[in-house]
Structure 1
Amino acid sequence: MSTALLAGCATAPTESAGLAGTRWIITRVDGAAPAAPSRASLKFEDERLSANVGCNGIGGDYRVEGNRLIAGPLMATRMFCEGPVWQQEEAVNALLSAAPEMRRSGSTLRLVSGGHALDLELSEG
């Protein structure tokens, strides 16, 4: 019976892989600098993430499975945005929804999935 209990625990990871309580500055969206760099960030709480590229806020639950970030369902505010900030917001939303692969090296983090890439740097503040 204890084997079944242990197996059940192993199939439902809720570990945040050291992301909980961290805030990241978005340095690149698909290779381009953020259109609104002063607002471009991704923040992780215990089980929730929130992102902003410069217009709408994006948020939802997350967990880490292996080297993948599993986020969702994601919700976003619906302010009217256009131009580069809108395109970057759509790219980040698509990336976070596609279980991106995480590559962390010290104070940098790269998320890659669905034809999109997000480069981040750990914020000290």
Structure 2
Amino acid sequence: MNRLLVTAVAMATLLPIGAGADEAPLSVWSIVAVSGTATENGAEIAFSADGHASGTSGCNRFSGAVSQQGDVLTLGPLASTRMACPEPLSSQEAAIFALLGQPLRVAVDLTTGSATLTAADGATLALQRRRQ
């Protein structure tokens, strides 16, 4: 299959295109690992059709703009709540926010409903699509 077509289908799975602007986020993903380390406390990210992302690091909530060019997502600037987080949630949040502040290459596995967001330095966010 044409690589461009596969990338387009995969990105459409991650970012819902064509939904009405008044609809709730259509693409909600659990953040299951940061660079191979399992996350705790329900970290997640949701993408909406109007170009926004929102979620939780497992401690604080965040939101911001998201754009896509090819198979690369760029988020930000991000706004977040500022509650003090106990360890290991504080370190988890720092790692998630550091990754979300960079351009991220997206790879989606349509069979498993999983995705990997990879930064230029090789750091990753592993995502699992949540059923709506």
Q: Deviations over 1:71-112 (max 9, x none)?
A: 111111100113111111111111111111111111111011
Size of the alignment, in residue pairs?
107
Please state how far the C-alpha of 1:53 moved relative to its aligned partner.
Answer: 2.2
Q: Which residue of structure 2 lines up, in the alignment, with residue 119 of structure 1?
A: 126
Based on CA coordinates, which of the two structures has the bigger radius of gyration? 1
- C-alpha distance in structure 1 between counterparts of 2:114 and 2:94, whole Å: 22
1:26-74 Cα distance to aligned partner (Å, 9 max, x none): 11112111121xx211100121001212110111000111111111111
What TM-score results when the alignment is normalised by the length of structure 2? 0.75
Q: Which segments of 5 or more consecutive residues in structure 1 lack a partner in the other structure?
A: 1-16
1:65 maps to which of 69, 78, 89: 69
- Aligned-residue sequence identity (percent) comes to 31
The aligned counterpart of 2:89 is 85
Equivalent residue number for residue 50 of structure 1: 54
Give me the whole-angstrom Cα distance separating, in 2, the residues matched to 1:51 and 1:84.
Answer: 18
Q: Which residue of 1 aligns with 2:7?
A: none
Which sections of structure 2, spanning at least 5 residues, go unmatched?
Answer: 1-10, 17-25
| Distance across 2 between alignment mates of 1:118 and 1:59 | 17
With structure 1 as the length reference, what TM-score do the two structures score?
0.79
Alignment of 1:31 onto 2:21: no
- The ranges of structure 1 where at least 4 consecutive aligned residues each deviate by more than 2 angstroms after the TM superposition are none
Picking from 33, 43, 49, the partner of 1:40 is 43
Q: Is the 8 A contact 1:67 1:101 kept in 2?
A: yes
User: Within 1, Cα distance between the matches of 2:105 and 2:89?
Assistant: 23
For 1:118 and 1:84, the matched residues in 2 are separated by: 17
- Could you say what secondary structure the match of 1:60 adopts? strand
- RMSD over aligned Cα, in angstroms? 1.3
Distance in 1 (alpha carbons) for counterparts of 2:90 and 2:82: 11
